[in-house]
Structure 1
Amino acid sequence: MIVHAMKGGWWADSQYEENAPLKAAGWWWHPGPDGCRRKGCEACQAGLRKKWWTPFADKAARLRQVEGDVQIEWTPEAAAAVRATERSLEASRAVDAEIEVPAPEGLDYLPFQRAGIAYALARPGTLIADQMGLGKTIQALGLINAAPTVKRVLIVCPASLRINWQREAEKWLVQKWQIHVVMSAKAPPADAEIIIINPDRLKGKILDALMSRTWDLIVVDECQICKNPRAARTKKILGEPARKGKEAVPGLVDRAARKLFLTGTPILNRPIEIQPVAGALDRRQFGSFFGFAKRYAGAYQSRWGWVFDGASNLAELQDKLRASIMIRRIKSEVLTELPPKRRQIIELDLSGFEHIVGAEQESWARHEQMIADAEARTALAHAEGDDASYEAAVRDLRSATSAAFTEMARVRHETAVAKVPQVIEHVDSLLEGDEEQKVLVFAHHHDVVDALAVHWGAKSVVLTGRNKPEERDAAVQRFQNDPACRVFIGSIQAAGVGLTLTAADLVVFAELDWVPANMSQAEDRCHRIGQRRQVLVQHLVFDGSLDAQMAKTLVAKQTIMDQALDLRAERIKIEAQEPVTPSAQGHGRPREYPKATPEQREAAARGVQQLAGLCDGARKLDGAGFNRVDTRLGHELAMRSQGRPLTDGEVWLAAKMVRRYRRQLSAEIVEVLSG
């Protein structure tokens, strides 16, 4: 086999028996221009016919790793291109680089920061996804120092970080720059060389003024805010891709010669969340939302539309990101002197508060059952094909979901308030044990924050979304430098991003957040460069409360994030499973269901009857879980099947349940309904 380079990719001159390594490496078979349906296909343009090829450098590099018994000869051009990709992969993990980067007198970059600057210098679009606390801001400013062509810079960052960016720029930039921080609705001055702005200010005259200029560099800090391509701020920053009947709409990044995105958590919950940013940096490889979703988000089409909330091919995604746009290092690799974090779950005394946790549990179970009933009614109405019943069921489902959210927010608030005295007592004991100990305390509700602030008074500072930027900065400076200030009280959202609070090595969560990235962001306010002690993170919960359940859920969610982004994370298999019931969003006219045969109708009836006999509503049974929706659905279908034949829609619904719980049923039933 001989591998050749071509414009936009590689192709292989191979025999049939040599195809295995090409398939394993993810190469594509190209039938020729007549049989290809891919728009703008590079293989068609190269005139390839009945050849294996790939436009992706990471897949070309992977072929070198899966050669096996097949002898592969690479042309010099093909080999050189692959070596460049391999060097890019190595650079994406580099902890040092032989590069001289200008720095102000008395300051210097850490070795891995030089490597990050070198990586960004080598490409027009870069995602610095270093773990939180490794100095991404310094690397961005180092890029400005190192790139002589950069004269005009736009920095988009959260409002809470504007002053910090200004201070760091004045500290780290070698040349004197005209820096303007947008703090009002007035358009920035024309002579400003560096403009710092938060996304909420990107509107009206300000946005028009910024779009009218060209930028040598745009920096988007905390770029995970662009995870939703439909959000207004995402469209303003990244633009909108072309769709059927609609031309592409440029964003601010399209006005910049060089793009630099910064985040420590590019994937907040699901891999699909990184696509908008990756697509903006490399449209050729990541620009197709749908293509990305199918390959890396485990996308599948349910009867009610496409679902993109899974995860698949994460090792390939990591390699492709690293080979093209992303550099990511984790603290254990580059800060060997920084001890790892430790986490503890501290169970508070439940005495006297059993009624609150009990009410929380009852409310959770009640609304979970209410939503399950509504989802089951929605699925059954859909299966019956009755538009009016289906629309009514969808309205009920939405109403139940909204009511559950409102109710659970209320009871969680009551639980948080009830914990305050014990949170205070716990933190006081930590402070009394060491006169130099400082503590970060995170909460969610304002009245919880206020109650903590009243107790600690002058020896604490408070930072929430209510604080002005200058107040935020003053709070940080006092906590870092004043020995008398021993407690930093912050809201998880407002105080969890972009701050350095290394004066503390102890983090206490009085309340928790469902999003693991928000928790990690908050933790890493003190677990970052400058920290020399081991950081201890404590979650204070009532046993049996929602917070206690959340603490376990957060660990599971963090695994997906680590697997997609960190080389040494343990690989796990994540399978997207199609739900039995439709979502509340998919409320169009029910489709026609496949015509069921008499055998399928009988097997469906037997299947749901057997499941109804097995299922008593327990969470786990014989290794397979019966959730509340399926419990309700299975019993209802079983009752219907005893009084009349199941409809085609009900057979289809029953077949989905049978396939899901196939381990509980006979192989004969499963086989009939799997055809």
Structure 2
Amino acid sequence: MELETPFPYQLVGADFLASKAQALLADVMGLGKSAQAVRAADLIGARDVLVLCPASVRINWLREFTRFSPFDRPAAAVLTGKDGVPTSGVVVCSYDLLATEKVRKALMAVSWDVLVLDEAHYLKERGAKRTKAVYGYNARTPGLASQARHVWRLSGTPAPNDASELWTHLKSAGIVQDQYWDFVYEFCTGFNSDYGFRITGHRNTDKLKQLLAQFMLRRTKEEVMTELPPIAFHEVTVERSAVELDPVFYEQTRLKTPDQFFAELKLADNTLRQALKTVSGAKTPGQDKLKILEAMAGSMVTLRRYIGMAKLPKVCEMLDSELAMGLIDKIVIFAVHKDVIEHTRQRLAKYGAVTLYGGTAPDKRQKNIDRFMTDPKCRVFIGNIVAAGTGITLTSAHEVAFMEADWVPANNAQAAMRCHRIGQTNPVRVRFFSCEGSVDEEIMTTLRRKTAELAKIF
């Protein structure tokens, strides 16, 4: 697999991390903090790397090492508390699993070259179990951070609410010795209430900036704008979730029992895998795979729909977190199937989600587009790739997510360009979400690459 080339600012970030035993990389979302951490691990010759992250991105972290590192490290993710816990190479574990004594003890028994704390704001609460498991319970009971030569924190929002949330990171890094309340009184303003001290603002910000400068690097998109492409395409792999089958699935396939249904799905999956495998060694494997996808699209409708529903929960979980944290303002989500669109709308309804697909009433189509373009409270637009892929403008967003992709790459390119057109003032990031452990991974990789090529034309 050909390695992806980092941007110049990512090389600077990797050098920064590699030079620090304790560090916080606070680049805003979308600048590729994980890629910088992977390169930094390579720079220091790290073999044993532990990545702690939200559950929804465990599999994608494994892919990041494949995409950006030439080192042949063993790599595995801890998916349940019952799993065996790897003790060498790249190990990816969720913060939630640290509550499992078996997992925590196994990880504590290893001397890690690097501990990467992805979305480090998950550790902002000093009393939370996961914070204690990482940074230590007390002087006598250290946490995982004590087992690593390098501890690198990654977060675009290290203090989502106020400066007090920086204390856990600064304290664990040895930059401040103050106890929590001493830190709060020095850097926060507020008042005593019936519920305790209420923080209302900040003070001594110059001193706080000096403390942060000892271990933090932060860049905004505006600062690196000249290095970013106007539109960039990425692939994100998520874990599959169980799908609650409805009668429509059975009606479409004329199968009466779940066993028959899953047997048919497995057959379709194997047939598609074998067909794609036959052209893997061809001179133009990508183009040949597209021909196979185009030829088999009609016979794979149920499998495609099932995969779309299987990855939907984890994708929505990730996007929900990004929207809630303010990491993204607005987003356009594309899909193929109506039920994938509607289930996505239901999960993201609190962000004023609107939809556009074949069944959308004509009088509502333009209303939904206009609302997304003008209403700050309408932060999510979910459209069918064909119905919403041409003739409309969605430049109020510069984030695009393909929950599902059309097997005709030109349709995907046209859809993505709804955000990348006249009126757009920001670089556009397009993410293709693939379902781990399924043929969808290979398909989405092929479609992403071809879509990116075609986007240069449109």
TM-score interval w.r.t. the shorter chain?
Answer: 0.5 to 0.7
Among 141, 144, 148, the alignment partner of 1:256 is 148
Partners in 2 of 1:304 and 1:249 — Cα distance? 30
Partners in 2 of 1:414 and 1:329 — Cα distance? 30
Give the conservation status (yes or no) of the 8 Å contact 1:126–1:261: yes
Q: What SS class does the counterpart of residue 333 from structure 1 fall into?
A: coil
Partners in 2 of 1:142 and 1:124 — Cα distance? 15
Structure of larger gyration radius: 1
Deviation at 1:195, TM superposition (A): 0.5
Partners in 1 of 2:193 and 2:19 — Cα distance? 43
RCO higher in structure (CA 8 A, sep ≥6): 2
The residue that corresponds to 2:188 in the other structure is 297
Partners in 2 of 1:413 and 1:317 — Cα distance? 38
| Distance verdict in 2 for CA 1:430–1:249, change over 3 Å | same
Among 60, 67, 71, the alignment partner of 1:175 is 71
Partners in 1 of 2:408 and 2:59 — Cα distance? 18
Q: What SS class does the counterpart of residue 249 from structure 1 fall into?
A: coil
- Once the two structures are superposed, residues 198-218 of structure 1 have per-residue CA deviations (whole angstroms, 9 ceiling, x without a partner) of 111221311221122221110
Taking structure 1 as the reference length, what is the TM-score of the superposition? 0.37
Partners in 2 of 1:187 and 1:285 — Cα distance? 37
Among 173, 198, 210, the alignment partner of 2:107 is 210
| Distance verdict in 2 for CA 1:141–1:417, change over 3 Å | closer
The residue that corresponds to 2:204 in the other structure is 313
Give the conservation status (yes or no) of the 8 Å contact 1:278–1:287: no
Partners in 1 of 2:123 and 2:406 — Cα distance? 31
The residue that corresponds to 2:411 in the other structure is 484
- Once the two structures are superposed, residues 533-560 of structure 1 have per-residue CA deviations (whole angstroms, 9 ceiling, x without a partner) of xxxxxxxxxxxxxxxxxxxxxxxxxxxx
The residue that corresponds to 1:331 in the other structure is 221
The residue that corresponds to 2:49 in the other structure is 153
Partners in 1 of 2:126 and 2:14 — Cα distance? 28
Partners in 2 of 1:297 and 1:183 — Cα distance? 39
Partners in 1 of 2:44 and 2:197 — Cα distance? 44
- Once the two structures are superposed, residues 271-292 of structure 1 have per-residue CA deviations (whole angstroms, 9 ceiling, x without a partner) of 11222122222x3426531222
Among 158, 167, 183, the alignment partner of 1:275 is 167
Count of residue pairs the alignment pairs up: 290
Q: 1:31-50 alignment to 2 at 5 Å?
A: none
Q: 1:3-22 alignment to 2 at 5 Å?
A: none
The residue that corresponds to 1:185 in the other structure is 81
Q: What SS class does the counterpart of residue 195 from structure 1 fall into?
A: strand
Counterpart residue type for residue 290 of structure 1: W
Partners in 1 of 2:385 and 2:52 — Cα distance? 35
The residue that corresponds to 2:316 in the other structure is none
The residue that corresponds to 1:164 in the other structure is 60
Give the conservation status (yes or no) of the 8 Å contact 1:222–1:263: yes
| Distance verdict in 2 for CA 1:481–1:124, change over 3 Å | farther
Deviation at 1:157, TM superposition (A): 1.1
Residues 1:141 and 2:38 are matched in the alignment: yes
Give the conservation status (yes or no) of the 8 Å contact 2:13–2:25: yes
Partners in 1 of 2:111 and 2:129 — Cα distance? 21
Residues 1:112 and 2:53 are matched in the alignment: no
| Distance verdict in 2 for CA 1:504–1:163, change over 3 Å | farther
Counterpart residue type for residue 419 of structure 2: D
Deviation at 1:173, TM superposition (A): 1.2
Partners in 2 of 1:138 and 1:118 — Cα distance? 12
Q: 1:376-455 alignment to 2 at 5 Å?
A: 424-426=365-367, 442-443=379-380
Q: What SS class does the counterpart of residue 202 from structure 2 fall into?
A: coil
| Distance verdict in 2 for CA 1:459–1:292, change over 3 Å | farther
Deviation at 1:419, TM superposition (A): 10
- Once the two structures are superposed, residues 118-168 of structure 1 have per-residue CA deviations (whole angstroms, 9 ceiling, x without a partner) of 2222221000001222111111001111002x2211001112211221111
The residue that corresponds to 2:29 in the other structure is 132
Counterpart residue type for residue 411 of structure 2: A
Q: Could you list the runs of 5+ residues in structure 2 that have no partner in the other structure?
A: 231-347, 373-377, 390-400, 422-426, 432-448, 453-458
Give the conservation status (yes or no) of the 8 Å contact 2:26–2:156: yes
Give the conservation status (yes or no) of the 8 Å contact 2:190–2:199: yes
Counterpart residue type for residue 185 of structure 1: G
Partners in 2 of 1:267 and 1:116 — Cα distance? 20
Partners in 1 of 2:83 and 2:349 — Cα distance? 41
Q: 1:652-671 alignment to 2 at 5 Å?
A: none
| Distance verdict in 2 for CA 1:196–1:503, change over 3 Å | farther
Give the conservation status (yes or no) of the 8 Å contact 2:420–2:428: no
Partners in 2 of 1:179 and 1:414 — Cα distance? 37
Q: What SS class does the counterpart of residue 132 from structure 1 fall into?
A: coil
Q: What SS class does the counterpart of residue 285 from structure 1 fall into?
A: coil
Counterpart residue type for residue 228 of structure 1: E
Partners in 2 of 1:481 and 1:294 — Cα distance? 59
Partners in 2 of 1:121 and 1:191 — Cα distance? 22
Q: Could you list the runs of 5+ residues in structure 1 that have no partner in the other structure?
A: 1-103, 341-411, 432-440, 444-448, 462-473, 489-501, 508-522, 533-675
Partners in 2 of 1:257 and 1:236 — Cα distance? 17
| Distance verdict in 2 for CA 1:279–1:153, change over 3 Å | same
| Distance verdict in 2 for CA 1:285–1:480, change over 3 Å | farther
Partners in 1 of 2:72 and 2:227 — Cα distance? 34
Q: 1:566-605 alignment to 2 at 5 Å?
A: none
The residue that corresponds to 2:295 in the other structure is none
Taking structure 2 as the reference length, what is the TM-score of the superposition? 0.53
More strand by share: 2
- Once the two structures are superposed, residues 211-246 of structure 1 have per-residue CA deviations (whole angstroms, 9 ceiling, x without a partner) of 222211100111111111122222222223x4xxxx
| Distance verdict in 2 for CA 1:186–1:428, change over 3 Å | same
Aligned Cα RMSD in Å?
A: 4.3
| Distance verdict in 2 for CA 1:189–1:413, change over 3 Å | closer
The residue that corresponds to 2:419 in the other structure is 505
- Once the two structures are superposed, residues 21-64 of structure 1 have per-residue CA deviations (whole angstroms, 9 ceiling, x without a partner) of xxxxxxxxxxxxxxxxxxxxxxxxxxxxxxxxxxxxxxxxxxxx
Partners in 2 of 1:337 and 1:109 — Cα distance? 10
Deviation at 1:267, TM superposition (A): 1.9
The residue that corresponds to 1:573 in the other structure is none
| Distance verdict in 2 for CA 1:326–1:106, change over 3 Å | same
Give the conservation status (yes or no) of the 8 Å contact 2:121–2:157: yes
Partners in 2 of 1:285 and 1:158 — Cα distance? 27
Q: What SS class does the counterpart of residue 258 from structure 1 fall into?
A: strand
Deviation at 1:256, TM superposition (A): 1.1
Partners in 2 of 1:477 and 1:238 — Cα distance? 39
Give the conservation status (yes or no) of the 8 Å contact 1:280–1:287: no
Give the conservation status (yes or no) of the 8 Å contact 2:51–2:115: yes
Give the conservation status (yes or no) of the 8 Å contact 1:132–1:524: no
Deviation at 1:196, TM superposition (A): 0.6
Give the conservation status (yes or no) of the 8 Å contact 2:24–2:152: yes
Partners in 2 of 1:442 and 1:329 — Cα distance? 24
| Distance verdict in 2 for CA 1:460–1:147, change over 3 Å | farther
The residue that corresponds to 1:380 in the other structure is none
Q: 1:188-203 alignment to 2 at 5 Å?
A: 188-190=84-86, 192-202=88-98, 203=100
Q: What SS class does the counterpart of residue 51 from structure 2 fall into?
A: strand
| Distance verdict in 2 for CA 1:227–1:424, change over 3 Å | farther
Q: 1:74-85 alignment to 2 at 5 Å?
A: none
- Once the two structures are superposed, residues 351-407 of structure 1 have per-residue CA deviations (whole angstroms, 9 ceiling, x without a partner) of xxxxxxxxxxxxxxxxxxxxxxxxxxxxxxxxxxxxxxxxxxxxxxxxxxxxxxxxx
Give the conservation status (yes or no) of the 8 Å contact 2:145–2:151: yes
| Distance verdict in 2 for CA 1:459–1:317, change over 3 Å | farther
Q: What SS class does the counterpart of residue 257 from structure 1 fall into?
A: strand
Give the conservation status (yes or no) of the 8 Å contact 1:459–1:485: no
